[in-house]
Structure 1
Amino acid sequence: MKMKSPSKNQKRATMRVRIYIYIAILIFFTSCSNIKYLKEGENLYVKGEVELNNDSIPDRYRAPLTERLEEVLRPRPNKKFLGLRTKLYFYNIAGQPKKNKGFKHWLKNKAGEAPVLLQDVNVPYNENLVRNRLENIGFFNAYVTTDTTIKKQKAMLNYIATTNKIYRINKVTYELDTTTQIGKEIKLAQPGSLLIPGRPYNLDRIIAERERIENLLKDKGYYFFSPDHILVQVDSMIGKHMVDMNVKLKDETPKNAKQPYTINNIFIYPEYSLVQGNYEIATPADAEEYKGFYFIDPHRTFRKFALARTMFFHKGDLYNRDRQNQTISQLVGMGTFRFVKNNFMLVDRGKTNKLDVHYYLTPQQKKAVRVELLGKTAAVYNGSEVNVSWSHRNAFKGAELLRLTAYGGYEVQSGGGVNINSNFYRYGLEASLTWPRIIAPFGWEPTRRFVPHTTTLVGYEFLNRRQAYRLNSLRFAWGYNWQESAKKTHQLNLLDIAYVQPVNVTPFYDSLATEFPYLQRAIDRQFTFGPTYKFTYTNTMETDKKHTFYFSGGLDLSANTTGLILGSNVKKGKQDSIFKAAFSQYIKTEIEYRHYMKLGTNRQLAARALFGYGYSYGNSTRLPYVKQFFAGGPNSLRAFRARAIGPGSYNPERFGNDNFVPDMTGDIRMEFNLEYRSKIVSILDWAAFVDVGNIWLQNADTVFQGGKFSKDFFKELAVGGGLGLRFDLTFLILRTDLAIPFRIPYLPDGQRWVFNKINFRDPDWRRDNLVFNLAIGYPF
């Protein structure tokens, strides 16, 4: 009897069963192997949890409170990765290395982690921590007991916290001597109190209230006042789970803390050296006076007006901590000082309520050379770039930053069909000058809290796509950067000019451009000029928050007024030129939003949404080539190589030439990215990601059929995903991503999802679909 050979589906099912068995065996042996290394009588501490024994706590508060209480438990159990204690496993299998170096030593002490045993846990100490935390938030007279569960040498501790009803604030009084000035000031601060009747008792809120009063007094001249001079008395014996609070000034508060101080002389030391030691305390006779400020700058390294304008204090002003911080912020923000510190000194040994202020400024190295060497790879494309920059941090003695940069790079193709558009090299020069202030013909000053900057830039670049064409590019920009707050920044270029001139177009490319008119756009002269603006908001620096955000929005305008004045209308045959180049007339906007959510220790979910839209009119029907959007690559749709997807449902292979794949660009861009990030060991992290997006054209094009944006755009979204490793080397993050397409928009409608075609065993499939990206830094 002839046996039937198994079908492909049966083979795949058998393979999946084998994989599941291998994973189960790995999990079993990895988890068991950690236990077998324990000595007799030792138990691995695997979990500590807190249980609240109080039915009066609402369910919506119970889980967050339990999580906060569990955070104080020490020590923490051994870390897990995908449910496995891999670091503990590495520690155990490394044994006892004979040397303090080598692989086993690294595996045990760097990649590994010693077992956390039950005997390492100080249970009474943890009980006290939980009880104190509960009392600090109003659960007085709480008590904590502990249950221990041991099963197969794995120990769990359950801390049972029994609490009474939470205590709330009944009333708040301010016991102050209002015949004194400081008593009046504190009394005036009462309406903004953080201690509000009806709210739960909270120790952190009491501390915050003392600091609030101190901040208000500091801004009114009380230089020597401290939060410790405020006493908040709490009476919890009034019954009904209520407390009375009394705010008062401590009797032992020193005299100098009770009186305001004014600013006397202000001394500025622009050449202060930490190595050579302090200057002797200067007097007005030792210094050079400028507009009421005294400079000790014997070598005249800085122009006085540049430093005087950063001062928020003047002689006779009442001391104010906010002005003090603003002055320090201005000096640091100039970018030319390595260290900035100040010193307030009593005048006449405290016989008067006056303070001399001394600002000690240590300059950074004035001249520096920086060399950067970068490498990149995406799919079969590899490249490198070198940047050399020279900078002078005090070019004209006003803290101006002069930077000259030379750069060069190349990209080559190492496999696949030859793409002449990817084999190129480029080099360029750029000069920029930045002033730490606004330079404008009118008195515009957007902020004094942070240092605004004025920047002018001139640049030239030469691009040589060897088998296609060469381009000369010139750029000039003049604009401003300023920070509205710690979270908000603005960038406004009043004039941003770009001019691109093609040279030496190859006959081969010329013939392609004749056949496919779109390609002509890459070698047309391009001329754009106009203002650009970008706004950025971020709170990602607040690392203690579970949710952080990043938002940027930009606007790019070109020749809007010029085109209107000249009456340009390319659709009616009237296209105007400047310098023999038809100028581009458009409105372009870009929006990017990122959301980062912590999922626990060393785990994060990151999401990004990108939207870009360019509207061309008057002298143009499409955005200029250098301003158009593209998708794909290491920081975009990682399952598709850079500039090789879109527009819309258009298939790049329709160009019908195996040795040429053009750069796909468009006027509209939409992209969504989701990435899960988690630490493995030490410097090594891993990530799983999904990318969705595409580009489209504003107007229909006979060459790019299916490229115009329409109401059915969602049917033309490309989808890809994959896994990646991140090597956090402190000074940089090296990122590798391996991705495959899930949905290909240029396939026939109904066949665009390609999950059923995934076949890692097929070398042809792997060659056509596996995309490897190597990059520096996170994609977003």
Structure 2
Amino acid sequence: MNTRWRFNIGITKIGVLSLAVIITSCNALKRVEEDELLLTKNNVFADEEKVVDEDIQSLIAQEPNSHVFGFPLRLHLYNLAKKNPDSSYQAWLHRKPKREQRWINLLSRKQVDRLGESFVVKGASEWLKSIGEPPAVIDTARVRKSLQRLSAYYGSKGYFNNTTSYDLVPTGRKQRAEVNYNVALGKPYYIDSLSRQIASPAIDSIYELHREDSFIKEGKQFDLVDFNLERERLTSLFRNSGVHNFQESSITYDILRDTSLLRDDQKMDVELNIDNLRSRGDTIVSSREYKVHYFEKINIFADYNFDVDINSLQSLDYENYTIYYKDKLRYKPKALTDAVFMDKDSLYRDLDRLRTYRQITNLNTFRYPNIEFIEDPTQTRLISNIYLAPRPKYSLGLDLDVTHSNIQRLGVGFSTSLITRNVFAGAETLSLSAGGTFGLLSDESLPEDFFSEIRGDINLTFPRIWFPFLNTKKIIPYYMLPQSRIATGTSFQKNIGLDRQTFNNVYGFNWSPTDFKRHTVELLNIQYVRNVNPDRFFNVYQSTYDRLDEIADDFEDEPTLSDFYQTPEGSDDPRLIIPEGTTGFTEAILDDGLVPTDSETFRDVSRIEERRVRLTENNLVFASNYTFSKNNRVDINDNSFYQFRFKLESAGNLLAGVSNIIPFEMSDTGDRLVFGVPFSQYVKTEFDYIKHWDLSRGQVLAFRSFFGVAVPYGNSDNIPFIRSYFAGGSNDNRAWNPYSLGPGSTRNVNDFNEANLKIALNLEYRFPIVGDFKGALFADAGNIWNVWDDVDDPDATLNDFASLADIALGTGMGLRYDFTYFVFRVDFGFKTYNPALDPSRRWFTDYNFANGELQIGINYPF
């Protein structure tokens, strides 16, 4: 065994050494001619002061070759490719007999490449070039283009008289140079006065009412950004003030300055011009004044398709709306009108139009709607036609996946879902789903190696806040996309842990005031967990059994305990029998007075028994919770954003209140029972903050912080396992496996370590490597602790600020491959600071591959 390990280490060292030799032997100037210079860096100076602004740096037309840890990897990959792979093909062809040459020439190039070494030479060269990067040879034409961009940029900031130049600065290394871009700014220009020429009286009146909000102000330095922002502000203002057809192109600006006068004050006059509405006909372009519009009529066409003759439809008037339908109206009128935010005789607002689009889409009953506006002859009244094309009444989905984990040797899962829309004619959605996972277990200690899990769920969604006897429309308007959800589900596990059966029920709401904020309230979140085989506890939690058996070794000669031991075949070490021996030995220690109650043995066995009872007892969680989340990410390509989530959950208070009126059954320990199960009572809160910084050229710095605590009280001395925290894993501290870190400074106390307080801090630097391959360097800090519960182990509890010294630190590296729709991720974490060790050995003691952890995940961890 040791020989093989040393051999593997030797092979690894040889491989690393070989790779290092290959890399260092690469010549970065292989494709750079003698009269050319390789670009190593760009520097921008404005009035001799270095500029580090990323927006300005992005104006440079030519960038140096990309680097990975300071090494131009893609450049060297490009240089490894043969310069002319076709010449290798010709040489290979001439080595063939003439008869074979004539036959090969009749084939397609793809067929030829499959014949021999040409496929390897040419294909590998093309692949290396595609993932590589040609040398960034300094191109003076691109340098001049960069100077033009810089001049235009600073001109847009009011430096109209700027001048630009560049210098090539040798780096001291052969055929390498930096480019310094120099910008002499000159004096900036300022806005001296503002005037306006507005053709339409209605537009002029609206502008006058809101002119103080202008981005363009007297005395302010000229900035083209302000002019663009002002155009956007005015366009939004007019369209939300009744001018539904306002065109942004109607807005122009004139910069007025008398050039015949010799002035050196850098002041300019700005004139705002807003023309009339322009319409292009077949032969001419006409113009007319903008008008403020009010709605004359709003028509809703339900179940619309292009083949329907509108004149053949039936109609129904409901609350100032006219609903058209064919044969039979399949929707409650209120469900349709509540999704429309434009009212008869109301002023047109573009905001109402956008909200109507969002809410109709949120119904999940119609495809993206088409909204049409028709002006009447007076040009001040509008008719709105809203065309709704229904989605299919039923949708069926199927899914199949294969899984593997440290528990499952192989698992095959399937799921199916049936979605029914417009269930009660109010745009409700009913979803029925069922699934299962079946496979083979990796744990040979269990009596069977086959496991299964079957689950089923029912979800009913209402596109409104459904709360009896309360009108929530004024509190949560429909433009906030309110939804109510009623869900129930169950799952059955066999040969997984203690064979758990779970029943879930949820009744809650959610709404989104903006695209970036979301509120979720679950008035009832009921979860009942039943452990079918609690006697298998010591089979499943093997490390807990080993600790108990180690304690029992000191009592092997006790005659009254002899029936609790059994010596395995091929061993001379008696072991406790599961479950008769473990139960009997525990009772002998705790109940029969075999050892003093203040002894260490009594305390250790008591802790093991408390954990066994907690993890094997059935749980009833009767909770309510509120979650607020916010993010400012614009789209999937936005790499500079933040996310914040706050959650507050309370469990057991309703049942505790009822117990004051209706007497509940009591357990031997004084807990109140519901159907024979003690209900959990606790309060739990979580804070989760994520921040990303875009460092340019595909580099991103990502940070995450998490704090969560659950405090038991009343009917509970601890938090149920299903609501506890754990540390480690591919989305947490990647230097430890899931459930293996903590609590506190304990070391692998249990198979599944959990606690009721958690702190996590993560920092990750992400960078491109080659093509869709990306790399990462990360540092993960955090741990879990017990606090304000029934755990008395000082190493596992958070006692004061000194306990924060138990925060573990894992560092490492990762490799990702971007499949566009998802990211496959492999991380390797090293235990940099391990609080489970003695204080003098915590830093870097386990910082090696033998104690590192390989983590595999899908998508980024945060």
TM-score range relative to shorter protein = 0.7 to 0.9
Matching residue of 2:739: 643
2:620 is matched with which residue: 518, 523, 527?
527
User: Closer, same or farther in 2 for the Cα pair 1:64/1:643, shift >3 Å?
Assistant: same
Contact 1:558 1:587 (C-alpha < 8 Å) held by counterparts: yes
Contact 1:176 1:187 (C-alpha < 8 Å) held by counterparts: no
Matching residue of 1:404: 432
Following TM superposition, by how much is the alpha carbon of 1:106 offset from its aligned partner in structure 2, in angstroms? Answer: 5.8
What secondary structure does 2:722 align onto? helix
Contact 1:569 1:617 (C-alpha < 8 Å) held by counterparts: no
Q: Does 1:429 align with 2:456?
A: yes
Moved more, 479-488 or 87-96: 87-96
Contact 2:188 2:221 (C-alpha < 8 Å) held by counterparts: yes
Following TM superposition, by how much is the alpha carbon of 1:691 offset from its aligned partner in structure 2, in angstroms? Answer: 1.5
Matching residue of 2:92: none
2:72 is matched with which residue: 78, 81, 85?
85
Which residue identity is paired with 1:83? G
Following TM superposition, by how much is the alpha carbon of 1:542 offset from its aligned partner in structure 2, in angstroms? Answer: 5.8
User: Residues 79-128 of structure 1: CA distance to partner in whole angstroms, max 9, x if unpaired?
Assistant: 33223332233333233556679752662454233444444843443322
Contact 1:377 1:773 (C-alpha < 8 Å) held by counterparts: no
User: Residues 240-270 of structure 1: CA distance to partner in whole angstroms, max 9, x if unpaired?
Assistant: 2222222243378675452112223323334
User: Closer, same or farther in 2 for the Cα pair 1:483/1:105, shift >3 Å?
Assistant: farther
Question: Partners in 2 of 1:106 and 1:458 — Cα distance?
Answer: 56
Give the length in aligned residue pairs.
735
**Can you give the 5+ residue segments of structure 2 that lack an aligned partner in the other structure?**
1-8, 87-108, 114-118, 279-285, 539-578, 587-604
Matching residue of 1:247: 272
Matches within 5 A, 1:5-404: 28-30=24-26, 32=27, 34-39=28-33, 41-53=35-47, 63-65=51-53, 67-95=54-82, 96=84, 103-104=123-124, 107-108=127-128, 110-119=130-139, 121-148=141-168, 152-154=174-176, 156-175=178-197, 180-236=201-257, 239-250=264-275, 256-273=288-305, 277=306, 282=310, 287-298=315-326, 300-347=329-376, 350-374=377-401, 384=411, 385-404=413-432
Which residue identity is paired with 2:482? P
What secondary structure does 2:339 align onto? coil
1:621 is matched with which residue: 717, 731, 748?
717
Following TM superposition, by how much is the alpha carbon of 1:367 offset from its aligned partner in structure 2, in angstroms? Answer: 2.7
Q: Structure 1 vs Structure 2: percent identity of aligned residues?
A: 25
Matches within 5 A, 1:488-503: 488-503=517-532
Contact 2:830 2:848 (C-alpha < 8 Å) held by counterparts: no
Following TM superposition, by how much is the alpha carbon of 1:535 offset from its aligned partner in structure 2, in angstroms? Answer: 0.8
User: Residues 460-490 of structure 1: CA distance to partner in whole angstroms, max 9, x if unpaired?
Assistant: 0113345x52221111110001112121101
Following TM superposition, by how much is the alpha carbon of 1:686 offset from its aligned partner in structure 2, in angstroms? Answer: 1.2
Question: Partners in 2 of 1:422 and 1:612 — Cα distance?
Answer: 37
Which residue identity is paired with 1:63? V
Q: Does 1:747 align with 2:837?
A: yes
Question: Partners in 2 of 1:52 and 1:426 — Cα distance?
Answer: 66
Contact 2:735 2:852 (C-alpha < 8 Å) held by counterparts: yes
Contact 1:75 1:121 (C-alpha < 8 Å) held by counterparts: no
Q: Does 1:714 align with 2:804?
A: yes
Matches within 5 A, 1:663-742: 663-699=752-788, 704=793, 706-711=795-800, 712-742=802-832
Which residue identity is paired with 2:266? H
Matching residue of 1:566: 659
Question: Partners in 2 of 1:569 and 1:199 — Cα distance?
Answer: 76
Matching residue of 2:99: none
User: Residues 551-580 of structure 1: CA distance to partner in whole angstroms, max 9, x if unpaired?
Assistant: 111111112243255369999953211111
Contact 1:379 1:773 (C-alpha < 8 Å) held by counterparts: no
Question: Partners in 1 of 2:300 and 2:130 — Cα distance?
Answer: 48
Question: Partners in 1 of 2:387 and 2:232 — Cα distance?
Answer: 28
What secondary structure does 1:223 align onto? coil
What secondary structure does 2:490 align onto? strand
Following TM superposition, by how much is the alpha carbon of 1:420 offset from its aligned partner in structure 2, in angstroms? Answer: 10
User: Closer, same or farther in 2 for the Cα pair 1:395/1:735, shift >3 Å?
Assistant: farther
Following TM superposition, by how much is the alpha carbon of 1:28 offset from its aligned partner in structure 2, in angstroms? Answer: 4.2
Which residue identity is paired with 2:66? K
User: Closer, same or farther in 2 for the Cα pair 1:758/1:147, shift >3 Å?
Assistant: closer
Question: Partners in 2 of 1:50 and 1:302 — Cα distance?
Answer: 63
Moved more, 662-671 or 152-161: 152-161
Moved more, 694-703 or 338-347: 694-703
Q: Which has the larger radius of gyration?
A: 2
Matches within 5 A, 1:470-619: 470-506=499-535, 509=538, 510=579, 514=586, 516-517=608-609, 518-541=611-634, 547-564=640-657, 566=659, 574-619=670-715
What secondary structure does 1:396 align onto? coil
Contact 1:90 1:107 (C-alpha < 8 Å) held by counterparts: no
Following TM superposition, by how much is the alpha carbon of 1:317 offset from its aligned partner in structure 2, in angstroms? Answer: 2.1
Question: Partners in 2 of 1:508 and 1:227 — Cα distance?
Answer: 71
User: Residues 725-755 of structure 1: CA distance to partner in whole angstroms, max 9, x if unpaired?
Assistant: 11111121111112222233232333333x1
Following TM superposition, by how much is the alpha carbon of 1:26 offset from its aligned partner in structure 2, in angstroms? Answer: 5.3
User: Residues 336-380 of structure 1: CA distance to partner in whole angstroms, max 9, x if unpaired?
Assistant: 333223222233xx4442222222333344433333445566678
User: Closer, same or farther in 2 for the Cα pair 1:159/1:212, shift >3 Å?
Assistant: same
Question: Partners in 2 of 1:362 and 1:683 — Cα distance?
Answer: 39
TM-score (norm 1): 0.85
What secondary structure does 1:643 align onto? coil
User: Closer, same or farther in 2 for the Cα pair 1:706/1:307, shift >3 Å?
Assistant: same
User: Residues 368-413 of structure 1: CA distance to partner in whole angstroms, max 9, x if unpaired?
Assistant: 3333445566678766554332223333343322212223346877
Which residue identity is paired with 1:37? R
Contact 1:381 1:422 (C-alpha < 8 Å) held by counterparts: no
User: Closer, same or farther in 2 for the Cα pair 1:690/1:548, shift >3 Å?
Assistant: same
User: Residues 34-87 of structure 1: CA distance to partner in whole angstroms, max 9, x if unpaired?
Assistant: 421245655544444432236xxxx7xx6355x433312224444332233322
User: Closer, same or farther in 2 for the Cα pair 1:46/1:278, shift >3 Å?
Assistant: farther
Following TM superposition, by how much is the alpha carbon of 1:716 offset from its aligned partner in structure 2, in angstroms? Answer: 1.9
How large is the RMSD of aligned CA atoms in angstroms? 3.6
TM-score (norm 2): 0.77
**Can you give the 5+ residue segments of structure 1 that lack an aligned partner in the other structure?**
1-11, 654-660, 761-765
Question: Partners in 1 of 2:212 and 2:165 — Cα distance?
Answer: 42
Question: Partners in 1 of 2:290 and 2:300 — Cα distance?
Answer: 29
Following TM superposition, by how much is the alpha carbon of 1:581 offset from its aligned partner in structure 2, in angstroms? Answer: 0.8
Question: Partners in 1 of 2:353 and 2:776 — Cα distance?
Answer: 44
Q: Does 1:456 align with 2:444?
A: no
Following TM superposition, by how much is the alpha carbon of 1:324 offset from its aligned partner in structure 2, in angstroms? Answer: 1.1
What secondary structure does 1:437 align onto? coil
Question: Partners in 2 of 1:537 and 1:725 — Cα distance?
Answer: 29
Question: Partners in 1 of 2:487 and 2:126 — Cα distance?
Answer: 49
Contact 2:277 2:289 (C-alpha < 8 Å) held by counterparts: no
Question: Partners in 1 of 2:138 and 2:273 — Cα distance?
Answer: 47
